[in-house]
Chain A
C-alpha cells in the first residue's frame, strides 16, 4: 500500500468516525447509541490495523485487537446490560435539542480545523491530514457529554471522547507505546464498570438516572 492510498483511506475512515460521533446526537434509542459506539470502535480498530500493516508494527496490530475486545465487544455488553437492567429505552433528555446541537457540532469542527491544521501540516506522517477530523471528534464528544442529563448517556459521551483521543494519538504518532495503550484500555474498562455501579446506585436512590437531580451539594 502506498502512502497516498493510505492517506486517502485514513481520511475516509476518520470522517466516518466523526460522522458516527455526530450520529450519537441524532439517535434517540439507547440501544442504538450503544451500537453506534461499538461500530465506531470497530472502525478505529480497522484503522489501526491498516496503519499497522503499512508501518509493519506488530504492537499496533495488538492494539487494534485489544480495541475490538475492550471497546468493540466488552464495553457495549456492559452498557447493554445496564440499559436492560434499568429498563430505560429512550435516551435523549439533553439540555439542547438536536438542531442547535448539530449547529454547535459544525462550529466545533471548524474550530478543530482552525487549531489543528497548522500542527498537522508540520507532521510528516501520511496520516496527518486527518488529525483535524480526530480533534473535531474529541470536541464533539466533550460537548455531547456536557449536553446530557442522564448517567448512561453521559458515559457514552465519555467513551466517544476517549475514542476521539485514541484516534488523535493514532494519527499523530501511530499510537502511543503498547504498554501505555493497554493501561489506558484497562483504565477505561474499570471506569466504565464503576460508572455502571453508580448508575444502579443513582437509580436506587433517586428513582431516576437524571443527573440533574443530583443538586444537593452546593456552595
Chain B
C-alpha cells in the first residue's frame, strides 16, 4: 500500500492545482503536497532499508533498496526545490500570469509523479512509459518564460529526448524478447528477468544494452547525446533546473543500472563496463572543453552535470565493490550539490537579470548570502574537502587506478581542468565592483533556508560516513549484484 500512497500524493496534488482558482490555494496545495510526498518517501526508505521489499498493485510496483535510494533523492530534493519555487515563481510571474503559475505548479507535481513511477515500478515497459512521461511533463516547464531561446531549448529537448527514448524502447523490446524466450510471460519484470539473466541469449542482450545506453544515456545527459541538456537546464526556471540536473538525470542512470545488472549476469561484466567507461570518459572530456571558457553560469552548471554523470559512469564501469559504491555515493553527492547551486543560480538571475557571467560582478558584495553559499556550493561540487563529493570522487578514482589505470588517470586530469575552469568563472562573478545602480541585499533570502539541509548532509557525508547510510548503500549493491 505504501508505494501507492507515495504515487497518489503528487498525482492528486497535480489534479487539484489544475482546477484551483486562487494563487494562495495553489501555493498551499503545492507546499502541502511537497511535504506529504517527502514524508511518504522517507517512510518508504526507512522501511525498505530495514530489509523489506515493498510491493503494490500485484507485481506492478516493487520497491527494493535501489528504488528506495532514488525515492529518497527525488522526494528530498523535490521538497527543497518546491519550497524555493514558491518564492521564485512569486518573483518571476505576477498575478497577471496566473495561468502560467497554475501550469507551473501542476506540471511540477506531475513531473515528480512520473519520476516516482519510473523508479518504483517493477515493469520494464511501464518504466519506459514513465521516463518518456518525465520529458512530456517538463517540456512546457522549460518553455515557461516563453522567449525565443526557451522555445528553442524546449523544442530541442522534446525532439532529442523523444528520439533517445524511442531507441531505449528498442533495447527494452529486445530484452523482453530475450527474456520471454526463457522466463515466459513474467519476463517483463525486473525481478523475474534478474533471476533468468544467466540463461538469456547473450547476442541479443549485447545489442539491447547498446540501445539502452544510447537511449537512457540521452536522458542521463551522457556525451555525445547530451546536446539538449545545456539548453534545457539553463532555460528552465531555477527550481526546475535544480530537479532536472540533480534528480532527473539520475532516473536515466537508474534505468541503465537496472539493465546493467541484467547484462552483467547474461554476458559478463566486461561488455557493459567498456561501454560505460567509453561514454563516461567522453562526457568528462566534452564537459571539460565547454567548462574552460563558459560565458553563462547556468550553462556552466549544466555542463558540470554532464561531467558528474560521466564520473558516475566511470565508477559503474570500474566496477567491483568500491567502484559501484563510489558511484552510488556520488549520485547522492552530485544531487545534493547541484540542486543547491541551481537554486542559487535562480537567486543570482533575479538579482542581475542576466545569466551571463560577465554581467555578474561583485556578487559577494551585492548579495552576500547568495554569493557566499554559491562559493561554498562550488567548492563542494568541484570536489574540495570537507564536502562529500571529494570522498566519492576519491573512492571512484582509487578503484579505477587498480584495474583501468589509464582511464582513471585521464579522468583525474580532466577533473583538474574542470576544477580550474569553474573556479575561474565563479571567481569572476564573486569579486569586482557590482553595477552602480544595483541595490544591495539578497533576493529571496528567507527562501534559501531549506538549503541548510543540503549543506548539512554534504558536510556529514564528507566528514563521516554514517553506518546506517553505508548499510543502505550495501543493500543497493546487493540489488545490483555486486
**CA of A195 to CA of B151, assembled, Å:** 12
Interface size class of B (residues with CB under 8 A): 35 or more
Which B residues between 111 and 162 are near A, CB-CB below 8 angstroms? 123, 125-126, 128-129, 132-133, 135-136, 139-140, 143, 146, 148-149, 151-156, 158-159, 162
Knowing A177-B188, A219-B294 are in contact, say whether A158-B162 is a contact too (CB < 8 A): yes
Contact check: which of B125, B133, B155, B172 meets A211 at CB < 8 Å? B155
Contact check: which of B125, B163, B203 meets A119 at CB < 8 Å? B203
Stretch touching chain B among A9-17, A41-49, A92-100, A164-172: A164-172
Interface centre among A122, A123, A169, A190 (most CB of B within 10 A): A169
Which A residues between 168 and 202 are near B, CB-CB below 8 angstroms? 168-169, 172-173, 176-177, 179-180, 183-184, 186-187, 190-191, 194-195, 198, 201-202
Contact check: which of B128, B170, B290 meets A219 at CB < 8 Å? B290
Knowing A142-B163, A145-B163 are in contact, say whether A122-B201 is a contact too (CB < 8 A): yes
**Contact of A202 with B155 in the complex, beta carbons under 8 Å:** yes
Interface membership of A206, Cβ < 8 A: yes
Knowing A122-B203, A168-B173, A194-B139 are in contact, say whether A187-B152 is a contact too (CB < 8 A): no
Q: Which residues of A contact B393 (CB under 8 A)?
A: none
B343-368 to A contact mask, C-beta < 8 Å, 1/0: 00000000000000000000000000
B183-223 to A contact mask, C-beta < 8 Å, 1/0: 00100100000000000010110010000000000000000
Q: Which residues of A contact B18 (CB under 8 A)?
A: none
**Contact of B166 with A158 in the complex, beta carbons under 8 Å:** yes
Interface of A is mostly: helix
A139-166 to B contact mask, C-beta < 8 Å, 1/0: 0001001000001001000100110010
Which residue of chain A lies nearest to B149 when distances are taken between CB atoms in the complex?
A: A216
Interface membership of B299, Cβ < 8 A: yes
**CA of A191 to CA of B132, assembled, Å:** 9
Q: Which residues of B contact A122 (CB under 8 A)?
A: 201, 203-204
**Contact of A173 with B176 in the complex, beta carbons under 8 Å:** yes
Residues of A in contact with B (beta carbons under 8 Å apart):
115, 118-119, 122-124, 138, 142, 145, 151, 154, 158, 161-162, 165, 168-169, 172-173, 176-177, 179-180, 183-184, 186-187, 190-191, 194-195, 198, 201-202, 205-206, 211, 214-217, 219
- Beyond the given pairs A145-B163, A172-B177, 6 more chain A to chain B contacts, judged by CB atoms under 8 angstroms and listed by A's residue number, are A173-B173, A180-B126, A184-B129, A194-B139, A194-B140, A219-B295
Residues of B in contact with A (beta carbons under 8 Å apart):
123, 125-126, 128-129, 132-133, 135-136, 139-140, 143, 146, 148-149, 151-156, 158-159, 162-163, 166, 169-170, 172-174, 176-177, 180-181, 185, 188, 201, 203-204, 207, 230-231, 234-235, 290, 294-296, 299
